[in-house]
Structure 1
Amino acid sequence: MVDPFGRAIYYLRVSVTDRCDFRCVYCMSEDMSFLPKGDLLTLEELDRLCSTFVARGTRKLRLTGGEPLVRRNILQLFHNLARHLDSGALDELTLTTNGSRLAFFAPELAACGVRRINVSLDSRDPEKFKAITRRGDLAQVLRGIDAAQSAGIDVKINMVALKGVNEGEIVPMISWAHARGMDVTLIEVMPMGAIEPDRLDQYLPLSDVRAEIARHFTLRDLAYRTGGPARYVEVAETGGRLGFITPLTHNFCESCNRVRLTCTGTLYMCLGQNDAADLRAPLRESASDDALNAAIEEAIARKPKGHDFMIDRAHTAPAVPRHMSVTGG
């Protein structure tokens, strides 16, 4: 799959549910209304959709949410998709999780061929963690990270930089994670969905964060890539990697290689645009994949050059109305 700008699209992110057991302040409202369960694609339909993308050249599948591990019987989908790893058609099957259920699922995820995961962790202070997530238990997440590493799964920590909230924890987070052999990726707040805090109050440019980190560590640019949007540096003092996802201060659109599928079968060609394609209708209209393939091809042909994310005093409203949990970030 190649988009109108010559970018090869080989990375599919699949939101298997919009539900989450946390309510992170930058992601969703505290009083969220989630989709009726009857609106969701079945696990068998998600398998068929993912497999169609794999047949079209997708090499990396990431299951997201919401929180993917709250979806009932989700390990069935991991087990089924693992066949593409076994055949060599797929390079990587992975997930992004808040870690709340990882202690239970980690051994079976490893058995399904999951070798690397991202865990969202914005604070290692229990009270601050609970305030950011509105209900999370830090100890439970840390047990999940322990379980994943014990199962042989590489863990990368995703940390959203929040102005006035966790600025002082970024350098300690890097030291802690690198001491445990985990990479860290820092992420700027993205203007998606209406939330109670003002985006401008939350937004912390990673250009400023990097300058502060450089006061403590020696940073060396790396060519290393994981297939996602992060740009990496090596921290000389720890030997670990540190990534920066900067949709606002330095967007990553020129190298975009991904599209996003929701749990209802809607395909978003860009995280920061509203244009989408309905894949549920062609999926259900026939046992043949002809109509589905045609819909995917037409959608890729509409993939835009880049997003419209902006946060400043003139742009505090969300750039897109859907919350981050709908498309998994």
Structure 2
Amino acid sequence: MTPYDDIAPAAQGTPTTAPLIDSFGRTVTYLRLSVTDRCDLRCVYCMAEHMTFLPKAEVLSLEELDRIATAFVGLGTRKLRLTGGEPLVRKGMMDLIRSLSRHLASGALDELTLTTNGTRLAEFAPQLASAGIRRVNVSLDTLKPELFRTLTRGGQVAKVLDGIAAAKAAGLAVKINAVALKHDNAAELPELIRWAHGQGHDLTLIETMPMGEVEADRTDQYLSLADVRAELESFWTLTDLPFSTGGPARYVRVEETGGRLGLITPLSHNFCEACNRVRLTCTGTLHTCLGQEDATDLRAVLRAGATDAELAAVIRGGVSVKPKGHDFEIARRQPAVARHMSTTGG
């Protein structure tokens, strides 16, 4: 039994229609679903220090999140990533995950996963594994306690490391995500890669993205991963790999560590031509591009009493106008989009 066993059979996610294809011929098979805008950390590149969080009435209920996710599965979504904010701070989160796992059991969904800051993994890792989660992404930009406190405005790196260890013990594959910051962790990146690979974890580096008004100067902090790769290749051998997890990262193997290193390069190397992803905010706004202001209000459709067919039609219409690519340019002093990453979903 799941918490939402009264969901109508028509909304159980079995694909019955043509796949979601945008006007550029890209098939959308990957939904990143934000379940909350709230987080127990305040990372300097992600949030303003004094965030105003959404009132509960504006946030989709667990049932509404389930229904929209199920509609996407019915339209051919094969991968569903739960994000935030921090998804594990959402009350009832495990109920939602257990319910969505029915799509894994039916074969309609290939993967159900989540991105987390790791602070609550020690508590939830065994439950996640038992619900069908097989891997998680953990955001970790530094192993240094003082720098971690600075970057997260008060967080404890030991808590995240304990969470990563608990996830590994529960049988979850862990991928570490680190934002490359020119003046904070640039010198530490080789050490972070060695540590992750030594623990058996992949690590992905991400260029800082101009989203939302924050106190930090992203122009000053921007570090091209083309430059990072060149530096790493001065002492390591990097071999390009055809491997993909369905996201935007390009992977190399670090021959000296034996581990995989991912590179997400929205500014130095645009990856839009093969984009298969869309994002849904916790308020029910569908964004088909991380770096554009396009938006389709699915919450209004749901709360107006839409049928499953009407909901699917609106989703299809939103995806049909997916932009060709983002508009990120680090040289601009203003963000490409006004919304914060914590609002959009990672």
TM-score normalized by structure 2? 0.93
State the match for 1:325 in structure 2.
Answer: 342
How far did 1:115 drift? 0.3
Q: Where do 1:248-267 residues align within 5 Å?
A: 248-267=267-286
State the match for 1:281 in structure 2.
Answer: 300
CA contact 1:199–1:317 (8 Å) conserved in 2: no
State the match for 2:197 in structure 1.
Answer: 178
Give the unaligned 5+ runs of structure 2: 1-19
CA contact 1:283–1:289 (8 Å) conserved in 2: no
Provide the C-alpha distance between the structure 2 equivalents of 1:107 and 1:185, rounded to a whole number of angstroms: 24
Choose the corresponding residue for 1:7, options 1, 26, 32. Answer: 26
> Can you list the C-alpha shifts for 1:24-65, whole angstroms capped at 9, x where unaligned?
011111011110122111001100100000010000000000
Choose the corresponding residue for 1:272, options 274, 281, 291. Answer: 291
CA contact 1:283–1:291 (8 Å) conserved in 2: no
Provide the C-alpha distance between the structure 2 equivalents of 1:324 and 1:104, rounded to a whole number of angstroms: 25
State the match for 2:128 in structure 1.
Answer: 109
Provide the C-alpha distance between the structure 1 equivalents of 2:319 and 2:57, rounded to a whole number of angstroms: 28
Kindly indicate whether residue 59 of structure 2 is the aligned counterpart of residue 40 of structure 1: yes
How far did 1:287 drift? 5.8
CA contact 1:12–1:60 (8 Å) conserved in 2: yes
Choose the corresponding residue for 2:237, options 215, 218, 222. Answer: 218
Provide the C-alpha distance between the structure 2 equivalents of 1:269 and 1:289, rounded to a whole number of angstroms: 20
Report SS of the residue matched to 1:292.
Answer: helix
CA contact 2:240–2:251 (8 Å) conserved in 1: yes
Report SS of the residue matched to 1:326.
Answer: helix
Which stretches of structure 1, 4 residues or more, deviate above 3 A after TM superposition? none
Question: How many aligned positions are there?
Answer: 327
Q: In the alignment, residue 22 of structure 1 is paired with which amino acid? A: L
Report SS of the residue matched to 1:38.
Answer: helix
State the match for 2:266 in structure 1.
Answer: 247
Provide the C-alpha distance between the structure 2 equivalents of 1:141 and 1:13, rounded to a whole number of angstroms: 22
State the match for 1:198 in structure 2.
Answer: 217
Provide the C-alpha distance between the structure 2 equivalents of 1:155 and 1:251, rounded to a whole number of angstroms: 26
State the match for 2:249 in structure 1.
Answer: 230
Provide the C-alpha distance between the structure 2 equivalents of 1:37 and 1:142, rounded to a whole number of angstroms: 31
Q: In the alignment, residue 234 of structure 1 is paired with which amino acid? A: R
**Percent of aligned pairs sharing the same letter:** 65
Give the unaligned 5+ runs of structure 1: none
Report SS of the residue matched to 1:260.
Answer: strand
Provide the C-alpha distance between the structure 1 equivalents of 2:191 and 2:335, rounded to a whole number of angstroms: 31
Kindly indicate whether residue 333 of structure 2 is the aligned counterpart of residue 316 of structure 1: yes
CA contact 1:122–1:160 (8 Å) conserved in 2: yes
Q: In the alignment, residue 183 of structure 2 is paired with which amino acid? A: G
Report SS of the residue matched to 1:130.
Answer: helix
Provide the C-alpha distance between the structure 2 equivalents of 1:316 and 1:223, rounded to a whole number of angstroms: 36
Choose the corresponding residue for 1:52, options 60, 71, 74. Answer: 71
CA contact 2:143–2:157 (8 Å) conserved in 1: yes
CA contact 2:280–2:286 (8 Å) conserved in 1: yes
State the match for 1:79 in structure 2.
Answer: 98
State the match for 1:124 in structure 2.
Answer: 143
Q: In the alignment, residue 143 of structure 1 is paired with which amino acid? A: D
Q: In the alignment, residue 230 of structure 2 is paired with which amino acid? A: A
TM-score normalized by structure 1? 0.98
Provide the C-alpha distance between the structure 2 equivalents of 1:133 and 1:212, rounded to a whole number of angstroms: 27
Provide the C-alpha distance between the structure 2 equivalents of 1:319 and 1:126, rounded to a whole number of angstroms: 32
Choose the corresponding residue for 2:85, options 66, 90, 93. Answer: 66
> Can you list the C-alpha shifts for 1:134-179, whole angstroms capped at 9, x where unaligned?
1211110000000000000000000000011001110011111101
Q: In the alignment, residue 122 of structure 1 is paired with which amino acid? A: D
State the match for 1:142 in structure 2.
Answer: 161
Q: In the alignment, residue 82 of structure 1 is paired with which amino acid? A: S
Q: In the alignment, residue 285 of structure 2 is paired with which amino acid? A: T
How large is the Cα RMSD of the aligned pairs? 0.8
CA contact 2:82–2:114 (8 Å) conserved in 1: yes
State the match for 1:97 in structure 2.
Answer: 116
State the match for 2:38 in structure 1.
Answer: 19
> Can you list the C-alpha shifts for 1:48-98, whole angstroms capped at 9, x where unaligned?
100000010000000000100011110010000000000000000000000
Provide the C-alpha distance between the structure 2 equivalents of 1:91 and 1:238, rounded to a whole number of angstroms: 30
How far did 1:285 drift? 2.2
How far did 1:213 drift? 1.1
How far did 1:264 drift? 0.8
State the match for 2:206 in structure 1.
Answer: 187
CA contact 1:14–1:327 (8 Å) conserved in 2: no
Provide the C-alpha distance between the structure 2 equivalents of 1:151 and 1:218, rounded to a whole number of angstroms: 32
Choose the corresponding residue for 2:228, options 202, 209, 220. Answer: 209
